Structure 1
Amino acid sequence: MAPTSMLLATYDRYGPPEVLSVTTGPVPRPRPGEILVRVRAVSVNGGELAMRAGRLRPFSGRRFPKRVGIDLVGEVVAPETGRFAAGDLVWGALGRRMGSAAEYVAVRAELLDHVPAGLDAVQAAALPAGTTAITALRDLAALAPGERLLVRGATGGVGYVAVQLGKAMGAHVTGLAGAANLDLVRELGADEAIDYRAPGNLGRFDVILDTVGTGLPAFRRLLGRRGRMVAIAFDPGRPVSSLGYIAAHAPRRRRWVRFFSGNPTASLFAELGRWVAAGAIRPQVDRVFPLADVAAAHRALEQGGVRGKIVIEVP
């Protein structure tokens, strides 16, 4: 049986990582269709940083306190269902809300799936963003064997999975990353690892996965005649114009650009699990922080140069 109170990460104003604190609150009661999960680990995502810093106020509003955490790995507490039993290790996401950086969360059952065998909670927490890579490359861009794929931000939380997935799908993969991380880009299987600060002549690409959000017009010019760009980020300094540029080029038949924000369900997590079980995708954990150091975890991601995912472990 779960306790009545728990620890959770919140902030009561916009600002730097130091606005984050760990406080106490009531353990949620699952509503019909929800599963109560004892959280063991979550990852830190770029959207959370922009939200916390106040760069997305048109979307996030001014009501406080706010919570952080999008995805989660944890153990099922209750209720037992046809799919889940108490103690099962599951992974998932909260949908269009935040708050998984806590000891307990109530999650709709259709947003959860079992963690693949062989992964512990921290390793598994480095992978949920891979559902974004699957949606971007398979469903939106329809990446085909032999095509040229450029992954911008190739060692970030989505990018490092996209490099592996692109190779598994038979593409020729070029990864852009900082000079210090080019070794990891190669280890992930990229055919080319290039310093984004001095890229030189990159040539043309069939598909570009953009995880950065800035300078989109320059990268769109790298697309071939039938090229497709999927952007999972926009320029937080100019959100309106950035999204406006994407919208203006989305309807085009050639060299189109599309933006999406992931909202994965159980079937997508199951698909990710199959890629992991097949050995095509492996986790890459940059650093692990305890929940008490959530501010330090946010600061580490803001400093850049990450190699995979920054994970928060919930004791």
Structure 2
Amino acid sequence: MNDMRAALYDSYGPPEVLYVGRVPVPVLQQGQVLVRVHAASVNGGELYGRAGRVRLVTGRKFPLRTGLDFAGEVAETDPSITGLKQGDRVWGVLPRTFGSAAEYVAVRPRNLSFAPENIGLVEAASLPVGTTALTALKAKAGLKAGERLLVRGASGGVGSIAVQLGKALGAHVTALAGPKNLDFVRELGADEAHSYTTTGPSDLGRFDVVLDTVGTEHRAFRKLLAPGGRMVSISFDIDHIAASLGYLLASTVHGRGRVRFFSGNPQHDLLAELARYVESGVIRPVVDTVRPLADIAAAHRALEAGGVRGKHVIQVV
């Protein structure tokens, strides 16, 4: 086992730059676990990376890789590792790097946990992004039972989980989604569902918590906060990055309702908490499509087209 299949690209560009090539299997370092990847999902940040819109971060050392989260089984462990053994079903997120759309990844135990026992690994690959919803609603916003929650981008990977979690936490959940996905988000538990094409911020009421997965119109949605309200954004307008980040920073010191922004880097405890929610039936996986690794470009293209319901999953084995 010297090399493996992986999704690669040799230049920045549209989805068509992606291809499946061969790269060396990761060399296991001290304190690492080698995971045989069964499936990964496509995340918005990977689209920006592939298109070259964050090249200050991704650089120009081609070929570059894609894929952030994964679900699979332990193939090998460093002798110093305890609590994990070959064959264990695990899921996780690479620590601030791309490369999970491949047959193997090497990570430290803190970046994974046991996968939920009640679902398959392909379904599980759609869920690690759910740790972002957990952090946003519980740690950052402190959502409480009886509060009013607005979820922007409610049908997407994070939004679809946030709707389910918000309802489980006892909130009244209002979902903003595309017109074709309104019944879908209601099925996830939304008390109200509105199309973003016909419903603007001025058409909505007051909310205790606003979760923004879209990254635009921060000012307009911040105005919807009730006294004591909290807004959490997990995205920003990449085309107007300076203005977006400037507003997020300014909100921490000016006016009512600070906008909390964070970039997820989930570790073991958060992944384990998510697994418990899944095993208890509070959160269920939402898979839009499952494609083989060879169709990675089609998955990127589909996510860019919008209208996703949950996650586009890439099945590796």
Q: TM-score, normalised by structure 2?
A: 0.96
Take 2:236 and 2:171, find their aligned partners in 1: how far apart are those partners? Answer: 25
Instruction: Report the equivalent of 2:57.
Output: 59
Would the aligned equivalents of 1:232 and 1:259 in 2 still touch at CA under 8 Å?
yes
Instruction: Report the equivalent of 1:109.
Output: 109
Instruction: Report the equivalent of 2:36.
Output: 38
Deviations 1:41-64 (A, max 9, x none): 001000110111122233333332
Alignment of 1:183-222 (within 5 A): 183-199=183-199, 201-222=203-224
Instruction: Report the equivalent of 1:277.
Output: 279
1:283 partner SS:
coil
Deviations 1:61-107 (A, max 9, x none): 33322110110001101127432111111000111111011001101
Instruction: Report the equivalent of 2:228.
Output: 226
Alignment of 1:44-83 (within 5 A): 44-79=42-77, 81-83=81-83
Question: Kindly, what percent of the aligned residue pairs are identical?
Answer: 61
Instruction: Report the equivalent of 1:175.
Output: 175
Q: How far off is 1:297 after superposition?
A: 0.6
Q: How far off is 1:232 after superposition?
A: 0.6
Instruction: Report the equivalent of 1:311.
Output: 313
Take 2:253 and 2:4, find their aligned partners in 1: how far apart are those partners? Answer: 47
Which amino acid in the other structure matches residue 161 of structure 2? V
Take 2:205 and 2:106, find their aligned partners in 1: how far apart are those partners? Answer: 47
Q: How far off is 1:145 after superposition?
A: 0.8
Which amino acid in the other structure matches residue 314 of structure 1? V
Deviations 1:238-282 (A, max 9, x none): 112111111111245831101111000010011001111111100
Stretch of structure 1 that moved more, 298-307 or 213-222:
213-222
Take 1:163 and 1:214, find their aligned partners in 2: how far apart are those partners? Answer: 20
1:113 partner SS:
strand
Which amino acid in the other structure matches residue 95 of structure 1? P
Is 1:163 the counterpart of 2:163? The answer is yes
Stretch of structure 1 that moved more, 72-81 or 102-111:
72-81
Match of 2:20 among 19, 22, 38: 22
Which amino acid in the other structure matches residue 113 of structure 2? D
1:237 partner SS:
helix
Alignment of 1:290-309 (within 5 A): 290-309=292-311
Which amino acid in the other structure matches residue 163 of structure 1? V
Structure 1 residue runs without a partner (length 5+)? none
Would the aligned equivalents of 1:123 and 1:283 in 2 still touch at CA under 8 Å?
yes
Is 1:5 the counterpart of 2:3? The answer is yes
Take 2:253 and 2:90, find their aligned partners in 1: how far apart are those partners? Answer: 38
Stretch of structure 1 that moved more, 79-88 or 163-172:
79-88
Pairwise CA RMSD of aligned residues?
A: 1.2
Structure 2 residue runs without a partner (length 5+)? none
Is 1:151 the counterpart of 2:147? The answer is no
Which amino acid in the other structure matches residue 244 of structure 1? G
Take 1:58 and 1:207, find their aligned partners in 2: how far apart are those partners? Answer: 33
Take 1:75 and 1:294, find their aligned partners in 2: how far apart are those partners? Answer: 21
Take 2:297 and 2:47, find their aligned partners in 1: how far apart are those partners? Answer: 10
Which amino acid in the other structure matches residue 166 of structure 1? G
Which amino acid in the other structure matches residue 242 of structure 2? V
Instruction: Report the equivalent of 2:250.
Output: 248
**Alignment CA distance shift 1:252-1:274 (3 Å):** farther
Deviations 1:287-306 (A, max 9, x none): 01100111001001000000
Would the aligned equivalents of 1:228 and 1:254 in 2 still touch at CA under 8 Å?
no
Take 2:196 and 2:140, find their aligned partners in 1: how far apart are those partners? Answer: 25
Take 1:253 and 1:190, find their aligned partners in 2: how far apart are those partners? Answer: 30
Which amino acid in the other structure matches residue 119 of structure 2? L
Stretch of structure 1 that moved more, 113-122 or 61-70:
61-70
1:203 partner SS:
coil
Would the aligned equivalents of 1:145 and 1:169 in 2 still touch at CA under 8 Å?
yes
Q: How far off is 1:184 after superposition?
A: 0.8
Take 2:18 and 2:247, find their aligned partners in 1: how far apart are those partners? Answer: 33
Q: TM-score, normalised by structure 1?
A: 0.97
Q: How far off is 1:225 after superposition?
A: 2.2
Alignment of 1:257-276 (within 5 A): 257-276=259-278
